[in-house]
Amino acid sequence: MKDIASVDSIDPLSEVELITFDSKYGKEVYRHSASHIMAHAVKDMFPDAKLAIGPATEEGFYYDFDRNVPFTPDDLEKIEKRMKEIIKKNSPFKRRDITKAEAIKLFERMGEDYKVELLKEIPDDIVSTYEEDGFIDLCRGPHLLKTGKVKAFKLLSIAGAYWRGDEKNRMLQRIYGTAYDNKEDLQAYLNFLEEVKKRDHRKLGKELDLFSISDDIGSGLVLWHPNGAIIRKTIEDFWRNEHLKADYKMLYTPHIAKLNLWQRSGHWDFYRENMYSPMEIEGVAYELKPMNCPFHIDIYKSALRSYRDLPIRYAELGTVYRYERSGVLHGLLRVRGFTQDDAHIFCREDQIENEILNILEFTLFILRTFGFESYDIYLSTRPEKYVGSLDNWEKATNALKHALDKKGLAYQVDPGEGVFYGPKIDIKIKDSLNRSWQCSTIQVDFNLPERFDVTYRGSDGKDHRPIMIHRALMGSLERFFGILIEHYAGAFPLWLSPVHVVVLTIAERHGDYANEIYSELRGADIRTEMNLENEKIGYKIREAALKKIPYLIIIGDKEVEERKITVRKRNGENIRPFTIGEFVGIVKKEADSRQ
């Protein structure tokens, strides 16, 4: 792609910068032009559809339409066909700057109510429209020079979307698409989407019987099935053991607290839209907890603390509840009730940097253990709405920055993305498909210790204010588990697999020996299943493969006679016969290594 234009003519004395598809801006212009062409095609095919907005996105584009009849997959094919015709005509995109009053009259005549609403909120007196082959749209631009510059595109899906993201507004229909400057890259992206679809944790969660979300229970509330629950237990056991080694103290706290606790913490003022309506108990208002921090503060304040006691590190796998709109709920990745791997550290000001260094080391160790070796790090600074003094914000931000620099970790500054009470470090892991996921966070907080009058007795015999560090390594167990499912495509490493080994018999006469093997494996704390059904061995192997069980033990006449076992890996590789003792040693070693 060589031609992108925001004006119809260029002054020959002007400096000209060539923008290509390889740049972020180039992709945005290219895909926004494709979105315009899609809107044109929809209006040609379905004149009753009203236009809302159609921006480019990181991976493609979408356009929202108001239409009483739902779009269907067949409609997408028709729209694509019409888009190809528009592209083939190679009509020029023509920009026109007009007054806002003119634009309002224009779109009122066209019956485009959403465009009129947008126009009335634009503060500028002059606005721009883009036209090609008789189709006009309100747009800032820029666009490509001509429709024919769009070389490869695909419409992907249809979804519902509230106008302006507000569930009180009308539900619109959103058509998603993507576009590339060549067919090869488009096909590569479509192949990637197919792989993403295969790894979808909702699909695999059902196939592997890991979890479910039931309408009878409520949206965004997760039911952990036995297979998922044993993986969760394995994660929790590892997490707790490593925290105890790192000198954290374990806590458990309630699921509700008096409303005035959240008013004092500031959550009620700054976070109310994500909290549920209070409940009344004996005339007192209570609230489901969205965070664990006020509870940990109360435990800290239950005794007089000395400067010698610090740092104090509290950790909890605490379940919290947050109101997420139904439109954003997504399997395990966006839920309403979830368990944070939460911790709060109370320390002196001179201890902040060292504590952050320890947390960074601990975080990377945990993430690597679960198979995540690549990540991006962001330092998020003071947002527009914040509490606390600017001096404290500067101290906290500098402490995070110095720790990152000292650790030699590359990071990007994310301006204004800190939480209301302090700056933070966010770590986004990369999965096996190179997708980024927000998991770990480290937040320095001068605010809550002040709000709750948290103190320690200093060496001078006076009371001093500790600093509070909030941190989570996995973020939430639910979300992290969803990421793990997709990262491994359900084929977990042995230590995380809900079943380590399945024992399969070739014939009924091999059942007694299979039971012996089963008992020995279970006695060695190896998670084992057994299939003695009167089915062909090929069928049993295929069934075990669908469950993604790491090891299959096959028992036949030879194995019974030699008192050995034949072992097959889930990838189809057969390994040499073993005694049961030898095999137990192999499995235990692999599980302990967490590879």
**In angstroms, what CA-CA distances link 54 with 331, 384, 437, 473?**
26, 28, 26, 37
Q: What is the largest CA-CA distance in the chain?
A: 92
**In angstroms, what CA-CA distances link 317 with 18, 249, 440, 473?**
52, 12, 14, 11
The DSSP output letter for 555 is E
Among 469, 494, 291, 292, which Cα is nearest to 395's? 469
Check 32, 137, 174, 293 and give the catalytic one.
293
Check 201, 289, 344, 382 and give the catalytic one.
344
Alpha helices in 176-270, H assignment, sequence order: 183-199, 201-207, 226-245, 259-265, 267-270
User: Is-catalytic flag, 470?
Assistant: yes
Q: How far apart are CA 347 and CA 340, in angstroms?
A: 22
Amino acid at 550: P
Residue with token string 């201890």: 351
Tokens of 162: 């509230």
Check 174, 322, 479, 527 and give the catalytic one.
322
Check 181, 342, 426, 445 and give the catalytic one.
342
Amino acid at 313: R
Strands 412-414 and 375-380: parallel
For residue 142, cis peptide bond before it (omega within 30 degrees of 0): yes
Residue 51: beta bridge partners? 65
User: Is-catalytic flag, 424?
Assistant: yes
User: Is-catalytic flag, 479?
Assistant: no
User: Is-catalytic flag, 340?
Assistant: yes
Q: Are 71 and 173 in contact (CB under 8 A)?
A: yes
Q: How far apart are CA 385 and CA 387, in angstroms?
A: 7
Check 470, 471, 510, 527 and give the catalytic one.
470
Report residue 424: phi and psi, to 5°: -155, 160
Report CA Rg, the chain. Answer: 29
Check 232, 336, 340, 445 and give the catalytic one.
340
Q: Are 342 and 316 in contact (CB under 8 A)?
A: yes
First-to-last CA distance in the chain? Answer: 45
Neighbours of 137 (CB within 10 A): 23
Amino acid at 209: D
The DSSP output letter for 278 is P
Q: Are 43 and 175 in contact (CB under 8 A)?
A: no
Query: Please, which residues have CB within 8 angstroms of residue 277's CB and are 6 or more apart in sequence?
Result: none
Residue 428: beta bridge partners? 376, 438
User: Is-catalytic flag, 402?
Assistant: no
Question: How many residues are listed for the chain in this entry?
Answer: 595
Strands 337-347 and 467-476: antiparallel
Tokens of 235: 């994660």
Q: Are 541 and 504 in contact (CB under 8 A)?
A: yes
Q: How far apart are CA 353 and CA 356, in angstroms?
A: 5
Tokens of 460: 């001078």
Among 52, 144, 56, 26, which Cα is nearest to 95's? 144
Active-site amino acid positions = 293, 322, 340, 342, 344, 424, 470
